Structure 1
Amino acid sequence: MATSSSSRTIWKGAISFGLVHIPVALHSATIEHGIDFDWLDKRSMDPVGYKRINKKTGKEIDKDNIIKGIQVEDGQYVVLTDEEIKAAYPRATQTIEIEAFVPMNELPFVYLDRPYYLAPVNKGEKVYALLRETLLKTGRAGIARVVIQTKQHLAALVPSGPALILNLLRWGESVRTWDQLDLPAPGTKAAGLKENELKMAEQLVDDMTAHWDPEKFHDTFTEEVMKLVNKKIDAGDTERVIKPEAAEEAVAPSNIVDLTELLQRSLRGGKKAERAPAKRKPAAKRKAA
């Protein structure tokens, strides 16, 4: 079944561009929706879990005897310790560091992975709105890196209505190219399209055009299964299964301060100036001046 919506804060930090910091909180923008079929023992209605099995012997293996390895060739593995893996984790920061701004129409949909809402905190409303309206006016998205739960992500910061959306992106090496696909040549002439065909297709698109309304589209499979489930509930056809409760995830603290006044210094190259402070003049020269 679908999980309920939650406004619980997942992460706290700040958007950073130039010398400006915008304190924000990260919230999930999606709900896991669908049918979750659990495995049950039909003899006792007990939950059925997964075992760690040695694929060669078929015997169950204890967790303490499991190590992690990466296959580099057929049957050849490089073994890494937990300490080595931990050392490779990206440094945990509380900053969404914008590295560049790109036109939104240049960001292919295939790179979009998972969206999150960003909400201002600690009196960051004004500078939050400043970035949102600037992105809307310029038609750009901020490309940034962010670390969430020890994992580094590439992300796009895009405006949507009153909100800023942090959409995690797939890395370039995770996206396949279309070079090996047999696709029609770009352009109407190269594809062999006739003018009357284009006109009729445009007319059909115009006739079917409507404003986006997600309420008009439903997961019909889930609806049909839930109708069956509710029918069985009404008939008293249910079984009692006791499951352990999941632990609540900890939320990282935040000590980010609003630095709106540094916007003008960022435009003047204040970031470089801050890294290399000017040397003080000798006392005699200062007096003469």
Structure 2
Amino acid sequence: MPRSIWKGAIAFGLVHVPVALYPASQEDDIDFGWLDKRSMDPVGYQRINKRTGKAVTKENIVKGVKQEDGTWVLMDDDEIRNAYPKTMQTIEIEAFVKASEIPFVYLEKPYYLEPIAKADKVYALLREAMIADDVIGIARVVMHTKEHLAALMPDGPVLVLNTLRWATEVRNWDELRIPPAGKAAANLKDAELKMAGQLVNELTVKWKADTYHDHFAEAINNLIKAKVAAGNTHEVTPIESPVDSAAPSNVVDLTALLKNSLGKRRGAAEEVVEAAAAATPRKAAAKAPAKPAPARKAAAKKTAPPARAKAAAPARKRA
């Protein structure tokens, strides 16, 4: 089990259940990388100006939201950050509903909840109460600076928090051409419905997740194993990332300072006083440029890559 990604408490009424949140799902896709077939060098991505075709540095990229009239509203990182919901370490249950009332299309991503801080009894109390009434909790939770609607549901002994899509994120099917509901409205004959029911009964089984496999992934993995066994592999020289030049210099400077300190043990009180006096202006000088620090900090924040850009950019090439 991976490390917990969130710790807080389930809150319903005046009862709080301290819990840790763990991902209940994992990506199992095959990670296809890109290589230049001429040199076997890794191929990366660039941010391109769509008008000029030239690469754009992160420092020159701003965020904007296009309006219906074609204009753009620009927003900087500070404005976006101030709009984030406050981080709350609480899964606030707002209501309990029947699980059958929530369409599957609203389900998004599941997480396991584990009781912490000696909360086993109250954890079990909440779980058993929901099982007894055959309900699930509808809650709000803030994770990764984003507010989520979520369903808290018992699954055997464990409580599962399944994030839900907001109503505005679910498309309405009213505009689709769907046959009318009901046997008569759909013009179905009794004989047709009876035969379809027999076929459904023949295919009805108990759900066992491990009986279903990703045949494409299995075929690709078998192909990879065969190529490796046949020695059909290629050497790819890793591209070294640029190293901050300040890092090695800091190590060298620190080593030199340590060596100098070992060779200059001062025993006289006068030398200690002189050293302290000499250090005072340097300390003040070091503090002098501290005033513009917020500007540099703000600039650093603006140059940071957008948190969602990474998710939006294609991470891999798939067949």
1:66 aligns with 2:61: yes
1:209 aligns with 2:224: no
Structure 1 residue 126, shift from structure 2 partner: 1.2
TM-score for the superposition, normalised by structure 2 = 0.72
**Equivalent position amino acid for 2:145 in 1:** T
Match of 1:73, SS state, is: coil
**Equivalent position amino acid for 2:154 in 1:** P
Q: Quote the Cα distance in structure 2 between the aligned partners of 1:219 and 1:161.
A: 26
1:86 aligns with 2:81: yes
Structure 1 residue 200, shift from structure 2 partner: 2.5
Structure 1 residue 43, shift from structure 2 partner: 2.8
Match of 2:192, SS state, is: helix
Q: Which residue number corresponds to residue 229 of structure 2?
A: 234
Structure 1 residue 34, shift from structure 2 partner: 1.6
Q: Which residue number corresponds to residue 97 of structure 2?
A: 102
Larger radius of gyration: 2
Matches within 5 A, 1:1-289: 6-73=1-68, 75-241=70-236, 242=238
Match of 2:213, SS state, is: coil
Q: Percent identity?
A: 57
Structure 1 residue 74, shift from structure 2 partner: 5.2
Cα deviation 1:57-102 (Å, max 9, x = unaligned)? 1111111111111001354100001110000001001111011111
Structure 1 residue 113, shift from structure 2 partner: 0.7
Q: 1:137 to 1:198 in 2, by over 3 A?
A: farther
- Higher relative CO (Cα under 8 Å, sequence separation at least 6) belongs to 1
Going by fraction, where is helix more abundant, 1 or 2? 2
Q: CA RMSD in A?
A: 1.7
Q: Quote the Cα distance in structure 2 between the aligned partners of 1:201 and 1:243.
A: 59
Q: 1:108 to 1:54 in 2, by over 3 A?
A: same
Gaps of 5+ in 2: 242-319
Q: 1:137 to 1:188 in 2, by over 3 A?
A: farther
Q: 1:243 to 1:108 in 2, by over 3 A?
A: farther
Q: Quote the Cα distance in structure 2 between the aligned partners of 1:39 and 1:89.
A: 36
TM-score for the superposition, normalised by structure 1 = 0.79
Structure 1 residue 195, shift from structure 2 partner: 2.8
Q: Quote the Cα distance in structure 2 between the aligned partners of 1:243 and 1:141.
A: 50
Q: Quote the Cα distance in structure 1 between the aligned partners of 2:164 and 2:7.
A: 19
Q: Which residue number corresponds to residue 269 of structure 1?
A: none
Gaps of 5+ in 1: 1-5, 246-289
Cα deviation 1:91-135 (Å, max 9, x = unaligned)? 001111011111111000000011111111111111111111222
Q: Quote the Cα distance in structure 2 between the aligned partners of 1:239 and 1:146.
A: 47
Match of 1:153, SS state, is: strand
Higher mean Cα deviation, 126-135 or 218-227?
126-135
Higher mean Cα deviation, 204-213 or 226-235?
204-213
Structure 1 residue 243, shift from structure 2 partner: 7.2
Q: Quote the Cα distance in structure 1 between the aligned partners of 2:12 and 2:149.
A: 15
Q: Quote the Cα distance in structure 1 between the aligned partners of 2:164 and 2:224.
A: 37
Match of 1:223, SS state, is: helix
Cα deviation 1:128-156 (Å, max 9, x = unaligned)? 11111222222211111111111111111
**Equivalent position amino acid for 1:44 in 2:** S
Q: Quote the Cα distance in structure 1 between the aligned partners of 2:223 and 2:69.
A: 47
Match of 1:119, SS state, is: strand
